Structure 1
Amino acid sequence: MDLKPVLAITIGDASGIGPEICLKALQDESVYRSCKPVLIGDLNILSFYVERLKLPFQLNPITKISNAKFTPGVIDLFHLDTIDMNRFQFGEGNSMTGKAMVDYTKLAVDLALKGDVDAVIGGPHTKSAVEKAGIFFDGYPSLIAQLTNTKEEETFLMLVSDHFRVVNVTLHVPLQRVLELIKHPLVFKAIQASHYAGRMLGIHDPKIAVAGLNPHASEGGLYGQEEQFEIIPAITQAKEAGMDVKGPFGSDILFAEMGHYDIYLAMYHDQAHIPMKMKAFKQISALTIGTPILFSSIGHGSAPDIAGKGIADPSGLLKTIQLLCNVQSKKSDSYYK
């Protein structure tokens, strides 16, 4: 019996590099040795790249997983006819490509919820293109929460690169809003989600370090009150629940010395993303944690400046494919409890 996981991979914003890196990644036959990949996107866009890059691929449009061949050289594709080539231009995300990205994601999540695929990878998106379509979008985690009927306040983003893992308590919100959101219940839920995600990644008892919000983690209240009244009580609650968690630490020292803990908890977007992108910019996966499906996106954007030029690097997608295959092999039921 073939136990390799089935992975649905969306092309993301069709005007960006998503379609190109999907095809380039599937040139690597090692992908087929670890999983059964299927793309979700538009046939016209992928046909353009196959011809332009002179790739030895046969595109196999399918309407159900049982039609997939899962064979190197054959690209199994759920084709959604969403792109009008007369309105399409590489590097120019618009309402059409934004809506298409959401449609690809909806289909992929539906396949995962039905059990037709084991995991989903979302291709690089363009936030402005989605919002041009009249759809509020602040990143994949909240969209996946909505599509899986999961509470958004229990859904978080974990940046993963080899042994570095950083979870965002808040994500795409203004800093002023961060101050309003950093409350004891949210910080505790983020620690809890981090703990279960660590176990899902095969770490039996993950060691979690929590960053402070203020400079020097406020030095006992000198530079702010959030640590004393919100973050420390959440850490205490997590310890009482049996989790191995320490902090809060000043983020400058904590992230400068990454590697001592299994998972790091950051309070806001840049606090998480800057150290991770300095450590491993092209090797990051963006894992959504706290939802009932296994979903990750790629840790970089749609790169509109090089879209359609044939020079995009698929290494981030290859890393994400490897991550989800490894997670699927280790996945513990405890993550979903």
Structure 2
Amino acid sequence: MNRPYIGIPMGDPAGIGPEIVVKALNEKSIYEICKPVVIGDRHVIEQAINFCSLNLSVNLTENAALGRYEAGVIDLIDLDNVDLSELKIGEVQALGGKAAFEYIEKSIDMANLGEVDAIATTPINKESLKAANINFIGHTEILADLTNIQDPLTMFEVRNMRVFFLSRHVSLRKACDMVTEERLLDYIIRCTEALKRLGIDEGVMAVAGLNPHSGEHGLFGNEEVTDVEPAITQAQALGYKVVGPIGADSVFHLALQGKFNSVLSLYHDQGHIATKTLDFERTIAITNGLPFLRTSVDHGTAFDIAGTGKASEISMVEAIRLAAKYSHSFKKEH
């Protein structure tokens, strides 16, 4: 099987993004499964190589197809948009936010043109984006806007457990209000289709309960009775393989044991806590519903350790591996 091209925007240049990218691409095994091309700034990448004391060289290329893709060499599309004399490592600044946005923008252009088969993104900083007058709160919102896709799906994968989210960055009170029969049915359908695009069409999806023990038939919370159960019943009648609601204190454990192919978490922290407690560094985000496959580390810019070479590359390695793992199935289904 041909190695897929994976685009890697290097993230906020003041954060750990450049460091985890060069560390990940120091792994020879990455080149056995894909052709990784970094979208970033040459001076920042070379600085990160020095921070991490790595023996790597940089190969500048204008197109992914022209890269060398061999261990010891980082293929880079250089946007040349960072002045190192102005860059303040580990600090919120407009320069970092603007540069990070431009790397994402270029990566999306490449994916839309078919120059890369998937993108694996690195950390960006919301405050730096704001300082640069870029009014997005995160990657998902940027991706949705730049691809004209409404409400893309977020899925986490860690080990053999996959978790979708009915809501993301909203208050807990609003998240509860979003647990409606209509929205749940829509998400069950869309999540099932998203799994198929990744080549996963076997198994059953589980819907987590919202209230403790799924409300015990209305004893302490009736959302399961009024909305969750009716949505699942409708989905089953339409032929979708889904069960629930299953108490959140057990459903993730059961999924990890292989009983379910995925879990639909009903709010942000419900699924985040389950996955990140299991293995924080190997919890990888996959954005479904876009015209291309996108995976991502699920940690921040870690300004407190940026520039020290201490940042772990494990999440970055896993994000690249997942992008390579699913890219062929996604491209075929899409």
TM-score normalised by structure 2 residue count: 0.93
Pairwise CA distance, 1:138: 3.0
Matching of residue 163 in structure 1 with residue 160 in structure 2: yes
One-letter amino acid matched to 2:27: D
Instruction: Give the gaps of 5 or more residues in structure 2.
Output: none
SS at match of 1:86: coil
Secondary structure, in 3 states, of the residue corresponding to 1:87? coil
Indicate the residue corresponding to 1:88 in structure 2.
87
Q: Would you say 1:99 and 2:93 are equivalent positions?
A: no
The RMSD of aligned alpha carbons is: 1.9
- Residue aligning to 1:185: 182
Cα displacement (A) at 1:333 = 4.4
* Contact 1:139–1:172, Cα closer than 8 Å, also in 2: no
Distance 2:332 2:26 in 1: 33
> How far apart, in 2, do the equivalents of 1:332 and 1:53 lie?
35
In terms of mean alpha carbon deviation, does 22-31 or 75-84 score higher?
Answer: 75-84
**Structure 1 residue matching 2:75: 3-state secondary structure:** strand
How many residues align? The count is 332
Q: Which residue number in structure 2 is paired with residue 134 of structure 1?
A: 133
Measured at CA, do residues 187 and 26 of structure 1 come closer, stay the same or move farther in structure 2, by a change above 3 Å?
A: same
CA pair 219-245 structure 1, distance change in 2 beyond 3 A: same
* AA partner of residue 309 (structure 1): T
Pick aligned residue for 2:245 from 245, 248, 267: 248
Structure 2 CA distance for aligned equivalents of residues 104 and 84 of structure 1: 15
Other-structure match for 2:276: 277
What is the deviation of 1:207? 1.1
The equivalent of 2:45 in structure 1 is 46
Instruction: Tell me, yes or no, if the aligned pair for 2:15 and 2:306 is still in contact at 8 Å.
Output: yes
**Given residue 30 of structure 2, which amino acid in structure 1 is its aligned partner?**
V
Query: Which contiguous aligned blocks of 4+ residues in structure 1 show a shift greater than 3 angstroms?
Result: 329-334
Task: Kindly state the Cα deviation for residue 34 of structure 1 after the two structures are TM-superposed.
Answer: 0.7
Partner SS for 2:49 = helix
Cα pair distance change 1:224/1:132, threshold 3 Å? farther
In the alignment, the residues of structure 2 paired with residue 65 and residue 71 of structure 1 have an alpha-carbon distance, to the nearest angstrom, of: 13
Most deviating of 26-35 and 81-90: 81-90
Counterparts of 1:142 and 1:239 in 2: how far apart (Å)?
A: 31
The one-letter amino acid of 1:51's match is N
Task: Tell whether the 8 Å contact from 1:38 to 1:75 is kept in structure 2 after alignment.
Answer: yes
Q: Indicate if the aligned counterparts of 1:206 and 1:244 stay in contact, CA closer than 8 A.
A: yes
Q: Give the AA of the match of 1:219.
A: E
Please say if residues 59 and 76 of structure 2, whose CA atoms lie closer than 8 Å, have aligned partners that are also in contact. Answer: yes
Identity of aligned residues (%): 36
Residue 195 of structure 1: how far off its partner (Å): 1.3
Pick one of 201, 204, 207 that aligns with 2:201: 204
Aligned letter for 2:62? Answer: T
**Which deviates more, 306-315 or 44-53?**
44-53
Q: Which residue of 2 aligns with 1:117?
A: 116
Does 1:315 pair with 2:320?
Answer: no
- Matches of 1:185 and 1:77, distance apart in 2: 45
How many angstroms apart in 2 are the aligned matches of 1:196 and 1:4? 25
Gaps of 5+ in 1: none
For 1:244 and 1:125, the matched residues in 2 are separated by 36
Aligned match of 1:56? 55
1:147 is displaced (CA, Å) by 1.6
Query: 1:228 is matched with which residue?
Result: 225
Partner of 2:216: 219
CA shift, 1:220, in A, is 2.1
Task: Give SS of 2:280's match.
Answer: helix
CA distance in structure 2 between the aligned counterparts of 1:236 and 1:24, rounded to whole angstroms: 48
Distance 1:95 1:206, change over 3 A: farther
Following the alignment from structure 2 to structure 1, what is the Cα–Cα distance between the partners of residues 136 and 220?
33
Q: Is the 8 A contact 2:283 2:315 kept in 1?
A: yes
Q: How far apart in 1 are the matches of 2:298 and 2:278? A: 12
Q: Post-superposition shift, 1:332?
A: 6.8
**Letter of the 1:248 counterpart:** P
